[in-house]
Amino acid sequence: MSEPRVYTRSPLKTSLSLGLFLALRQVRRSSVGTTALIIFVMMLTFLNLVVVRGVLVGLIQSSTNVFKEKYAGDILISSLPKKDYIEGSSEIISIVKNLPWLTTYSPRYAESGTVEGTYKERIDFTESANLSAGLVTGVDPELEEKTTGLSDAIIEGRYLTPEDTDSILIGANLLKKYLPIEAPGISLLENVEVGSRVRLKINGFVKEVTIVGVLKNKGEFDQRIVMLDSSLRTLIGRSDYNVDEIAIKIKPGVDPEIVKQALVTAGVGKNARVQTADEALPKFLKDIKDTFGLLGNVIGSIGLVVASITIFIVIYINAITRRKFIGIMKGIGIDSRAIEFSYILQSVFYAFMGVVVGLIILYGFLVPFIDAHPINFPFSDGILVAEVSNTLIRAGLLLFATIFAGYIPARLVVRQNTLDAILGR
Amino acid sequence: MIEVKNLTKSYTSGESILVVLKDLSFSVPEGQFLAITGRSGSGKSTLLYQLGLLDSPDAGEITVGGFHVASLDKDARTQFRLQKLGYVFQDYALIPELTALENVLIPLLMLGHSREQATKDAISAIEKLGLQDRINNLPSQLSGGQQQRVSIARAIAHNPQIIFADEPTANLDTETSNSVLNAFLDLHKQGQTIIMVTHEHEYAKMTDRIIVLSDGKIIEDTLQ
């Protein structure tokens, strides 16, 4: 009888190699239906990890995008605190015009005011007037259109033309028709529509104007009254041409921070507040964004635990039903590490396939579909935020968790007494 | 080759202790074909598990090739089984999702053989058992006799010092049982040490030696 051969490879490497051998065959020859079901569950788990957070963040991201694209641009210059307007606006606009990164800009006048409707029909003066308050914003229609595409927000009527000296656009949130809420302290215009004559009152100045359009893009202009800058200037007697805010759009790829620094260096900061769009975001939006991000991470973590438990159960059932064969393998001298590794590889395979299918569904269908058909929330059009880096981190976390979720049940079964496993006792 | 001294094994069930092997001592020289027989519950399978390092005795010594195996830890016992021993189980014990060839391959791969060498050795072992046209069949595609022969091929592929067979013909018809026993006899002719547990007297009679157990004791030890 010849002597047994000696090892030609290290035991660990041999165990890993045999583990791979066993795992490949177990996966290849297992039931297609069962494999598909496990991969389906893993795919759902992965999507749960990414999509729930993505939708939560997407709700606010959408608001942020609207704020930037439909109101602030990339840079927003606004009046300093305790100042009514931007002093030296003409010089600042000249600096803005000469910025090498400039695409377009829109200077705006803004004053608090009210719009009163159906005032001619009002008989009983003990009843409150049919009015709504908002920020009256004077714009150059062409510059505003280039900067924010404001005409896209028109849901009724039409956009302003330079000849509309006695016309306004009104934000949908000032009309009861679009914001049907009854609450103390909130007054919304009723029985007013495109073509209605309304009374515009700003700081005691009154002008009768016609509503030519209604604005709604779930952004800042939903709460505003928009008119020609020249009309507003005349109405409030702003003869110094000092504006209240300037939205600036810069060339794609340029860091807004660089442009902001250039403006500050040029002295704009002395008379105005210069902010990137991110800095100008309302604090509540930033807070909600942080909160939703945290909430998304908590839900994602729960999803990760659920995924780990799912894999644990799948591998445990798989291992426990194959306990006898595991015992036989140990009985004929197969290293327990090889057997454990085969189960780890199987669980990683299921998770990996689930992730791959999930990625295809995520980027091939869900993201483009929700981009094209945003989820209609009252305060924003929800999109699905799934940055590739973030998604890959979550995929990595899932695969990492899977290694443990596959190892632990395999270890529990493999460590059982060999003879007991073989004899099924 | 195998020395057994004062081997004792008992099992505990609740508060009662059942002594299955009682102070057994015997030796098995190299190249012998030994049959262990006895009635059900006599302790013959338990003895095989002790000799084959699948279980540990309560007391006594087992020496294989001059090596005291009772003192080996769990990993070393696994290594020892892999390198020195081969097993044929009553119910064939093939891994269902592996083909006949792959079932025979796995101990060879675990020994660190290259894939090419392992495949060559596995095919050689399968050919010895006459199953060369079945190497790519899964166990479910083989008859009971064919599965048992694959099991024997797996046991001999790595040239073990001793083959242990636990009732290898128990689930087979007479014709298939004969072919399986002939396979063992062929191996024995080549000098293979074989220890076989069987309750079938006609097969025991074909071996070199018969040990008969009763109530955990050797009541008969016959050289033939």
pLDDT for A44-71, tens place per residue?
A: 988 988 888 888 888 888 888 889 999 9
Chain A contact set for B109 (CB, 8 A): 14, 17-18, 21
CA distance A29 to chain B (A): 6
Whole-angstrom distance, CA of residue B98 vs CA of residue B154: 12
Q: Is residue B122 part of a domain?
A: yes
pLDDT at A4: 40
CA distance A342 to chain B (A): 13
Taking the Cβ of residue A424 and every Cβ of chain B, the question of whether any pair is shorter than 8 Å is answered with: no
Whole-angstrom distance, CA of residue A228 vs CA of residue B175: 105
pLDDT at A183 over 80: no
Whole-angstrom distance, CA of residue B101 vs CA of residue B154: 9
Residues 17-46 of chain A whose Cβ lies under 8 A from any Cβ of chain B: 17-18, 21-22, 25-26, 28-30
CA distance A17 to chain B (A): 8
pLDDT classification of A8: cutoffs 50, 70, 90: very low
Q: Is residue B124 part of a domain?
A: yes
pLDDT at A298: 87
pLDDT classification of A75: cutoffs 50, 70, 90: very high
Residues 334-363 of chain A whose Cβ lies under 8 A from any Cβ of chain B: 334-336, 338
**How many A×B Cβ pairs under 8 Å?**
100
CA distance B152 to chain A (A): 12
Chain B: residue whose CA lies nearest to A28: B97
pLDDT classification of A2: cutoffs 50, 70, 90: very low
pLDDT classification of B146: cutoffs 50, 70, 90: very high
pLDDT at A48: 86
Q: Is residue B3 part of a domain?
A: no
Residues 147-186 of chain B whose Cβ lies under 8 A from any Cβ of chain A: 154-155, 158-161
pLDDT at A13: 87
pLDDT per position as a tens digit, A185-198: 778 888 888 999 99
pLDDT classification of A6: cutoffs 50, 70, 90: very low
**Number of Cβ within a 10 Å radius of residue A55:** 21
pLDDT at A367: 93
Better-predicted residue by pLDDT, A171 or A314: A171
Nearest C-alpha neighbor of B122 from the set B98, B97, B149, B104: B104
pLDDT per position as a tens digit, A372-405: 998 888 777 888 888 999 899 989 998 998 898 8
SS3 for A256-311, per residue? HHHHHHHHHHCCHHHCEEEEEHHHHCCHHHHHHHHHHHHHHHHHHHHHHHHHHHHH
Give me the CATH number covering residue B127: 3.40.50.300
Chain A contact set for B192 (CB, 8 A): 1
Check CB contact under 8 Å for B106 and A22. Answer: yes
pLDDT at A1: 40
Q: Which residues face A137 on adjacent strands?
A: A110, A226
Residue pair A106/A144 in contact by the 8 Å Cβ criterion: yes
Taking the Cβ of residue B192 and every Cβ of chain A, the question of whether any pair is shorter than 8 Å is answered with: yes
Give the mean pLDDT of A413-417.
89
pLDDT at A187: 84
Percentage of chain A beyond pLDDT 90 is 57
Give the mean pLDDT of B140-147.
92
Question: Residue B46 class from Cβ within 10 Å (0-12 exposed, 13-18 middle, 19+ buried)?
Answer: buried
Check CB contact under 8 Å for B81 and A5. Answer: no
Chain B contact set for A338 (CB, 8 A): 110
Lowest-confidence segment of A228-237, A341-350, A416-425, B111-120 by average pLDDT? A416-425
Residue B117 lies in domain = 26-57+68-223
CA distance B82 to chain A (A): 4
CA distance A326 to chain B (A): 9
Chain B: residue whose CA lies nearest to A330: B78
Chain B contact set for A411 (CB, 8 A): none
pLDDT at A220 over 60: yes
Q: Which residues face A197 on adjacent strands?
A: A210
Indicate the average pLDDT of chain A. Answer: 89
pLDDT per position as a tens digit, A149-181: 999 999 999 999 999 999 999 999 999 888 888
Chain B contact set for A28 (CB, 8 A): 97
pLDDT at A287: 87
Check CB contact under 8 Å for A332 and B96. Answer: no
CA distance A412 to chain B (A): 16
Give the mean pLDDT of B176-197.
91
Q: Which residues face A135 on adjacent strands?
A: A112, A224
pLDDT at B160 over 60: yes
Q: Is residue B18 part of a domain?
A: no
pLDDT at A382: 83
pLDDT per position as a tens digit, A263-310: 999 999 999 999 999 999 888 888 888 888 888 888 888 888 887 888
Nearest C-alpha neighbor of B151 from the set B183, B182, B120: B183
Check CB contact under 8 Å for B54 and A419. Answer: yes
CA distance B118 to chain A (A): 11
Angle at B69 between CA A330 and CA B166, to 5 degrees: 50
Check CB contact under 8 Å for A328 and B93. Answer: yes
Q: Is residue B84 part of a domain?
A: yes
Chain A: residue whose CA lies nearest to B78: A333
Whole-angstrom distance, CA of residue A264 vs CA of residue A246: 14
Nearest C-alpha neighbor of A40 from the set A307, A299, A357, A395: A357
pLDDT at A227 over 70: yes
Lowest-confidence segment of A82-86, B13-17, B180-184 by average pLDDT? B13-17
CA distance B213 to chain A (A): 21
Chain B: residue whose CA lies nearest to A21: B106
Question: Residue A339 class from Cβ within 10 Å (0-12 exposed, 13-18 middle, 19+ buried)?
Answer: buried
The reported pTM is 0.75
Question: Which member of A28, A335, A419 has the closest CB to residue B78?
Answer: A335
pLDDT per position as a tens digit, A93-116: 999 999 999 999 999 999 999 999
Indicate the average pLDDT of chain B. Answer: 91
Q: Which residues face A139 on adjacent strands?
A: A108, A228
Residue pair A58/A383 in contact by the 8 Å Cβ criterion: yes
Taking the Cβ of residue B78 and every Cβ of chain A, the question of whether any pair is shorter than 8 Å is answered with: yes
Chain B contact set for A26 (CB, 8 A): 97
Chain B contact set for A328 (CB, 8 A): 89, 93, 95
pLDDT at A7 over 70: no
Number of domain units in chain B: 1
Percentage of chain B beyond pLDDT 70 is 100
Check CB contact under 8 Å for B97 and A25. Answer: yes
pLDDT at A9 over 70: no
Q: B32 Cβ partners below 8 Å, 6+ apart?
A: B1, B193, B194, B208, B209
> How does DSSP classify residue B71?
G
Whole-angstrom distance, CA of residue A310 vs CA of residue A279: 43
pLDDT at B77 over 90: no
pLDDT at A405: 87
Question: Which member of B79, B97, B191 has the closest CB to residue A26?
Answer: B97
Residues 99-138 of chain B whose Cβ lies under 8 A from any Cβ of chain A: 102, 105-107, 109-114, 138
pLDDT at A239 over 50: yes
Residue pair A320/A420 in contact by the 8 Å Cβ criterion: no
Q: B20 Cβ partners below 8 Å, 6+ apart?
A: B9, B10, B11, B43, B46, B216
Nearest C-alpha neighbor of A395 from the set A96, A104, A46, A103: A46
Check CB contact under 8 Å for A332 and B154. Answer: yes
Residue pair A303/A49 in contact by the 8 Å Cβ criterion: yes
